[in-house]
Structure 1
Amino acid sequence: MTGAALAAAAVGGCVTSRDVPLPAGEAAALRLRSVRVDAGPLRARGLAPWADQVRAAMQPELETLFAARLAPGDRQADTLVARVDSISLASWAGGGGGDRWFGGGGSDTDYMEGYALVIGANGAERARYHILLALPASSAGAWYRPDIDNRRIAGLARTFAGWAHRRVIGR
């Protein structure tokens, strides 16, 4: 991926060839039986503590963002799955050596990548939205705080949930 394409994808605002959107008009009428976080790919990579943190931060955010769409008793409603495939935290925050694509600090950028998946009542995937986002490592606060990595992961997870909502619903 070129630097410009990566920069566009980093904010989650581009449509990629990995997307399989809902048919036109169906997003407006989408009803969800549930929303859930799948951090299994992180766990499979030996990142169980990060997987738990992602789930803990993202699940309530998804429930809030999709509250108007939730119909828990509707057996015909879809399920939204926010699957996190990878996460990368910069080794330090602040004073990067400059990066021509991200405007000064590619070395202090955190990333999260995955998909927002709409799963039908029959268990088949109905839609898929690729999400790749980047946040400055410094966005979670001072680097010397004892909980800084947890705060960075939580910030990525909440931002991912926001992009899942934008991508699936369209606003």
Structure 2
Amino acid sequence: MTTRRQFLASTLAGAALALLPAGLTRAYAQAAPIGSIRVEFTRTVAEAWGDNVGLVRAEMEKTLAEILGPGFQRGAGNRLVVTVRSLWLASYAGGGGGGKPSDGGASNDYLESTATVYDRAGRQIASWPIMSTELSGGAGAWYLPDVDQRRLKALARNNAWWIRRYLAG
């Protein structure tokens, strides 16, 4: 007779085995160091955010270069291309409210991207969809004039850390 503990253990083991191919892809993407990082934007994001895309690009490239450490060696290995597909800031950046819309609710900012690793020949090695979420009030005082820029930088850093997590396996 199978006990509850054995059943749960076998279920968890099956789930882990189901994720194995994804783990192998990550390890393969990690075989060579990242030699270049490029952040690009879909046309709709670039048109909607104008000059702010430069701010997001600079922050994400800088953060990725820092956190990849020895895994980033300019000019060597694979190329990392991050395509920002969606960027959204909540209209309200004050503190959170209660659980109901009439209480103010929580406000989140979002950045959706796809991180793709290419080898030297331009073949895609791995690709991951990334969705970053930050509290709209998490970037500091909402009443300061640079609040939106701080929120965009926070989203870019958050997204970079998620990309690193997928690259590291």
Map of 1:166 onto structure 2: 165
Matching of residues 1-171 of structure 1 within 5 Å:
23=25, 25-41=27-43, 42-43=45-46, 45-74=47-76, 77-99=77-99, 105-106=105-106, 108-170=107-169
SS in 1 for 2:113: strand
Cα shift at 1:95? 4.5
Amino acid at match of 1:167: Y
Cα shift at 1:126? 1.4
Q: Deviations over 1:7-44 (max 9, x none)?
A: xxxxxxxxxxxxx776263244331111221134421x
Moved more, 122-131 or 34-43: 34-43
CA contact (8 A) 1:78 1:118 kept: yes
CA distance in 1, matches of 2:105, 2:166: 27
Seen in structure 2, the aligned counterparts of structure 1 residues 73 and 133 have a Cα distance that, compared at 3 Å, is: closer
Cα shift at 1:116? 1.2
Structure 2 stretches lacking a partner, 5+ long:
1-21
Amino acid at match of 2:116: L
Amino acid at match of 1:131: I
CA contact (8 A) 2:30 2:167 kept: no
CA contact (8 A) 2:26 2:167 kept: no
SS in 1 for 2:35: strand
CA contact (8 A) 2:118 2:124 kept: yes
Moved more, 24-33 or 80-89: 24-33
CA distance in 2, matches of 1:97, 1:72: 45
Q: Deviations over 1:54-85 (max 9, x none)?
A: 012111101111231123343xx210112211
Seen in structure 2, the aligned counterparts of structure 1 residues 168 and 97 have a Cα distance that, compared at 3 Å, is: same
Q: TM-score, normalised by structure 1?
A: 0.74
The structure with the largest alpha-carbon Rg is 2
Seen in structure 2, the aligned counterparts of structure 1 residues 22 and 72 have a Cα distance that, compared at 3 Å, is: farther
SS in 2 for 1:46: helix
Cα shift at 1:94? 2.5
Which has the larger share of helix?
Answer: 2
Higher relative contact order (CA 8 A, sep 6+): 1
Amino acid at match of 2:125: R
Seen in structure 2, the aligned counterparts of structure 1 residues 27 and 124 have a Cα distance that, compared at 3 Å, is: closer
Structure 1 stretches lacking a partner, 5+ long:
1-19
Cα shift at 1:110? 0.5
Q: TM-score, normalised by structure 2?
A: 0.75
CA contact (8 A) 2:86 2:113 kept: yes
CA contact (8 A) 1:21 1:129 kept: no
